[in-house]
Amino acid sequence: MKESDTPAQPVYMQVPEYPDYLKKQNVSGTVTVYFEVAVDGSVSDAFAAKSPHPGLSEAAVSAIMQSRFEPALVDGLPAVCQMSVPVRFDLTGAN
């Protein structure tokens, strides 16, 4: 990225819903979600690349798909970009 370019920035990050059955099984960990941010700030093509459990993957991807971003800027114009974020599921936390 050039100095004048700006990466996409989160405007709203949906909090993932921790599946109750996984809480009861003491399943926790971090899901790495890769996705694309469109020029309108919407999210598409999200997938979990690393996850301790498929149920956590589903919850993390669902939350990211509901999130919104300020799009990346390239030469001052909105541009599509790829991103990744870690989504943490912690039994001691509030999610």
Give per-residue pLDDT as tens, 27-36: 999 999 999 9
Q: Which domains does the chain have, with CATH numbers?
A: 9-87 (3.30.2420.10)
Q: Average pLDDT for residues 72-93, to the nearest whole number?
A: 92
Q: From residue 12, give the alpha-carbon distance in Å to each of 22, 64, 91.
A: 25, 10, 23
Determine the pLDDT at residue 63. Answer: 97
pLDDT higher than 50, residue 94: no
Tell whether the model's pLDDT for residue 2 goes beyond 50.
Answer: yes
Close Cβ partners of 2 (under 8 Å, ≥ 6 residues apart): 74, 75
pTM of the model: 0.88
Q: What local confidence, expressed as pLDDT, does residue 92 receive?
A: 85
Question: Which secondary-structure segment (H or E) carries 47?
Answer: strand 43-50
